[in-house]
Structure 1
């Protein structure tokens, strides 16, 4: 059974844990991470989930994502998820999430990483991922519209693409 650390609304550890699938107590939250890998052409690596996965079977998704387990930092969870899902080693120890999105039961950290990853070198499929491919922002928006991609807000996908080069809410390339 996967155990998660419990956070309060201010993202402070409470010292409590819960198991995946347990109901959330009032004021209890957990940490989720996503890593979006981008290539030099500005495409995002997307994955198709295995048909055996409990949620979103056979659906396309952003590069990787999952819940942090007890004792993990956001960076450690992101590194583990990348290794588990697409068998790629990534060092995020000196990185902060590019974006954090609050949701009903937690905090969702997004890491936006540019890499020259050769997808032919990945050991796929894995237990969680059926296949991967590079996709443009328009490709992903179209796949969402077709109902074949996890139904993220299309504006979130646009934001991930817009933020891949810099941290923060300002476009650092303008005015420099």
Structure 2
């Protein structure tokens, strides 16, 4: 059973945990993370979710995503998810999420980083990830138009690409 910490609407810890997929009570929220790994050419590493995934099977998504476990910070969860799904050690020390999206059940922290990675150096977690590749924004929008990419608003995808060059982000 995967436990998550619960927060109030202002993201103040409630001091309680709940099962990750169990319905939450009124005023109870959880945190999830996404990591968007861009290369120096401005492409985003995207992953195709495995067909065994309960939600969005075989759909393409940003580099990594997952839930924040009880007792973890958002940053720790982002590092863990990258390690688990891509087999990549990513140090996010001192890095804050570039954007947080509020959704019905909680908070979704998006970390944007730049790394030039060789796809053959990744070790994909087969239960989670079918394949990974680099793609630019027009490719991703075309995939979304064909229903192949998770249904993020096109403007949000463009925002993620715009954010990577606006405020600077870690390249270590």
Name the TM tier (shorter chain): over 0.9
Cα separation, 2, equivalents of 1:148 and 1:2: 28
Residue in 1 that maps onto 2:50: 50
Q: Does residue 130 in structure 1 map to residue 123 in structure 2? A: no
Aligned-residue offset at 1:107: 0.6
SS at structure 1 position matched to 2:91: coil
Residue in 1 that maps onto 2:163: 163
Residue in 2 that maps onto 1:99: 99
User: Given the superposition, is the C-alpha separation of residues 51 and 33 from structure 1 closer, same or farther in structure 2, using an over 3 Å criterion?
Assistant: same
Structure 1 vs Structure 2 CA RMSD: 1.1
> For 1:21-36, what aligned pairs fall within 5 Å after superposition?
21-36=21-36
Contact 2:79 2:92 in 1 (8 A): yes
Aligned-residue offset at 1:125: 5.2
Normalization by structure 1: what TM-score?
0.92
Residue in 2 that maps onto 1:153: 153
Alignment: residue pair count: 168
Normalization by structure 2: what TM-score?
0.95
User: Given the superposition, is the C-alpha separation of residues 18 and 125 from structure 1 closer, same or farther in structure 2, using an over 3 Å criterion?
Assistant: closer
Q: Deviations over 1:58-117 (max 9, x none)?
A: 110010011100000010000011111111110112100000111111011000100011
Aligned-residue offset at 1:21: 1.8
